[in-house]
């Protein structure tokens, strides 16, 4: 059973960099074909995809956040990480990590495993 | 970006009711459409992928249909544990985008 667990500070000051790590257990992050994603949810709102990384390090970011986002992977620790720079109160959200998994010959991707989420509050 | 819309935004239903939620994409996404259930304080859970394929372990009262731009999630007989918010999501292209959600609560 694959498990994902987010970790990092729950409080970040405005203008600083939000840094979170997702630890994957029950499976190798180096298994081919998956993308490892970050998704956030503002309080009481819907879901926003931030970006993903493959085990080889190729990335794809949401254009709305691209200038501030860096996602990296550490296969030796079975972890991937999110950095979001120059945060404001608008970045206050629950941040989820998730596995984007392909199915079938047409590679239908879906988020089949999720972490429990971590609330990050941006406040001085 | 592909925009996703859902209707209704909320609905009230009784246990045993048949419930249908619709999702529309701003352009054709073929069958690259997923459905998730989210309960309060919990991470979303995958229900349906590729528009109509039931995720392992998900009860068969959940079903999905559609292709192109119009999709439907149907719950054939609503159970107490189904009261939650449901999201559609396209995986046709990046950025991945979600619908705004449909909240299903008890009538």
Query: What does each of the 107 residues of chain B score in pLDDT, given as a tens digit?
Result: 999 999 999 999 999 999 999 999 999 999 999 999 999 999 999 999 999 999 999 999 999 999 999 999 999 999 999 999 999 999 999 999 999 999 999 88
The shortest CB-CB distance from B49 to any of A48, A103, A114 is to: A103
> Cα(B71)–Cα(B62) distance, rounded to whole angstroms?
14
> Cα(A21)–Cα(A72) distance, rounded to whole angstroms?
9
A43 interfaces chain B, CB cutoff of 8 Å: no
pLDDT at A71: 98
Is the Cα torsion angle A24, B100, B62, B64 positive or negative in sign? negative
Judged against a pLDDT cut of 80, whether residue A32 lies above it is answered with: no
> Cα(B30)–Cα(B50) distance, rounded to whole angstroms?
9
Judged against a pLDDT cut of 80, whether residue A106 lies above it is answered with: no
Chain B residues in contact with A60 (beta carbon < 8 A): 94-95
> Cα(B5)–Cα(A64) distance, rounded to whole angstroms?
19
Q: Measuring CA to CA, which residue among A124, A118, A37 is closest to residue A87? A: A124
pLDDT band of A64, cuts 50, 70, 90: very high
Which residue, among B95, B100, B103, would best test binding to A if mutated, counting the most A CBs under 10 Å from its CB? B95
């Amino acid at each position: 059973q694959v498990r994902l667990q987010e970790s990092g500070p729950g409080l970040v000051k405005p203008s600083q960099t939000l840094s979170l790590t997702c630890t994957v257990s029950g499976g190798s992050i180096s298994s081919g074909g998956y993308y490892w994603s970050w998704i956030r949810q503002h309080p009481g709102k819907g879901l926003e995809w931030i970006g993903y990384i493959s085990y080889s390090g190729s990335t794809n970011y949401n254009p709305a956040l691209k200038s501030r986002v860096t996602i990296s992977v550490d296969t030796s620790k079975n972890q991937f990480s999110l950095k979001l720079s120059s945060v404001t109160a608008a970045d206050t959200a629950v941040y989820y990590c998730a596995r984007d998994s392909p199915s079938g010959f047409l590679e239908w991707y879906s988020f089949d495993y999720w972490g429990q989420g971590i609330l990050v509050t941006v406040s001085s | 970006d592909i925009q996703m819309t859902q209707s209704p935004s909320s609905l009230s239903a009784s246990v045993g009711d048949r419930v249908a939620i619709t999702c529309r994409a701003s352009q054709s996404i073929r069958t690259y459409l997923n459905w998730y259930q989210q309960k309060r304080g919990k991470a979303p859970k995958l229900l349906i992928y590729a528009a109509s394929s039931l995720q392992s372990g998900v009860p068969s009262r959940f079903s999905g249909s559609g292709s192109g731009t119009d999709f439907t999630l149907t719950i054939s007989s609503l159970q107490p544990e189904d009261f939650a918010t449901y999201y559609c999501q396209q995986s046709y292209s990046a950025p991945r985008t979600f619908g705004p959600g449909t909240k299903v609560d008890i009538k």
